[in-house]
Structure 1
Amino acid sequence: MKFEKNTALDFVLNDLFEHYRQHVVAVDRITSALLEAGVVASQADIVNDHIAFRTLGVAHMGIASFEKIFLAHGYRKMDHYHFAAKKLNAYWFKPPSPNYPRIFVSELIVSELSDAAKGVIHRYTDAIVADPVDSLNLGDGQQIADFLQRPLWELPTSQDYNKLLEESEYAAWVIFNRYYLNHYTISIHELKEGYNTLEEFNAFVEGLGIKLNTAGGKIKTSGDRLLRQSSTVSAWNNALFADGITLQIAGSYVEFAERSVLPEFRNIPKSQLSPQQRRDGFEADNADKIFESTYTAQIKDKG
Structure 2
Amino acid sequence: MSTPVAKLIEQLWVKFREMNPQAGQIVDLLAERGDTLQNDHIAFRTFNDPRVGVAKLAEPFLAGGYVIGDEYQFEEKKLYAQHFEHPDPQLPKIFISELLLEKFDLSVRHTIDALIDQFDPASGNAEHPLCVAGRPWKPSYEDWKQLRDVSEYAAWMAAHGYCANHFTVFVNALKSVSSLQQLNALLLDEGFKLNHEGGEIKGSPEVFLEQSSTLASTVEVEFTDGTFPVPGCYFEFARRYPLPTGQLFSGFVAKSADKIFQSTDSRS
- Normalising by the smaller structure, the TM-score range is over 0.9
Instruction: Give the Å deviation of 1:226.
Output: 1.4
**Bigger shift: residues 102-111 or 58-67:** 58-67
Aligned match for 1:28, one of 4, 24, 43: 24
Indicate whether 1:295 and 2:246 are aligned.
no
Structure-1 residue corresponding to 2:141? 158
| Residues 151, 260 of structure 1: alpha-carbon distance in 2 compared, 3 angstrom cutoff | closer
Is 1:207 paired with 2:203?
no
1:64 to 2:55 alignment? yes
Aligned to 2:8: 12
Cα 1:126/1:26, change in 2 over 3 Å: same
Q: Give every structure 1 segment of 4 or more consecutive aligned residues whose post-TM-superposition deviation is greater than 6 Å.
A: none
Partner of 2:179: 197
Aligned partners of 2:68, 2:244: CA distance in 1, in Å? 25
Q: Does structure 2 retain, via aligned residues, the 8 Å contact 1:90–1:104? A: yes
Corresponding residue for residue 96 of structure 1: 87
Alpha-carbon RMSD: 1.8
SS in 2 for 1:107: strand
Taking the aligned partners of 1:157 and 1:247, their CA distance within structure 2 comes to 10
Q: Contact 2:47 / 2:101 at 8 angstroms: preserved in 1?
A: yes
Q: TM-score, normalised by structure 1?
A: 0.83
Distance between the aligned counterparts of 1:165 and 1:228, measured in 2? 28
Q: TM-score, normalised by structure 2?
A: 0.94
Matched, 1:250 2:231: yes
Amino acid at match of 2:68: K
Aligned residues: 268
How do 1:30-179 and structure 2 match up within 5 A?
30-38=26-34, 40=35, 45-127=36-118, 131-132=121-122, 135-136=124-125, 138=126, 143-144=127-128, 147-151=130-134, 153-179=136-162
Structure 1: tracts of 5 or more residues without a match: 266-276
Give the deviation of 1:264 after TM superposition. 4.0
Kindly name which structure, 1 or 2, has the bigger radius of gyration based on alpha carbons.
1
How far off its partner does 1:223 sit? 8.0
Identity, % of aligned pairs? 35
Q: Contact (CA 8 Å) 1:230, 1:290: kept in 2 or not?
A: yes
Deviations 1:44-75 (A, max 9, x none): x3111000000111131111211112111111
Shift of 1:160: 0.8
Report if aligned partners of 2:50, 2:56 keep a CA contact under 8 Å in 1.
no
Is 1:262 aligned to residue 253 of structure 2?
no
SS at match of 1:296: coil
Greater shift, 159-168 or 27-36, is seen at 27-36
Measure how far apart 1:93 and its partner are.
0.3
Q: Deviation at 1:152?
A: 6.1
Residue ranges of structure 2 left out of the alignment (5+ in a row): none
State the AA in 2 paired with 1:296: S
SS at the partner of 1:167? Answer: coil
Of 256-265 and 228-237, deviating more is 256-265
Q: Which residue of 2 aligns with 1:274?
A: none
Partner of 2:254: 284
CA distance in 2, matches of 1:51, 1:263: 26
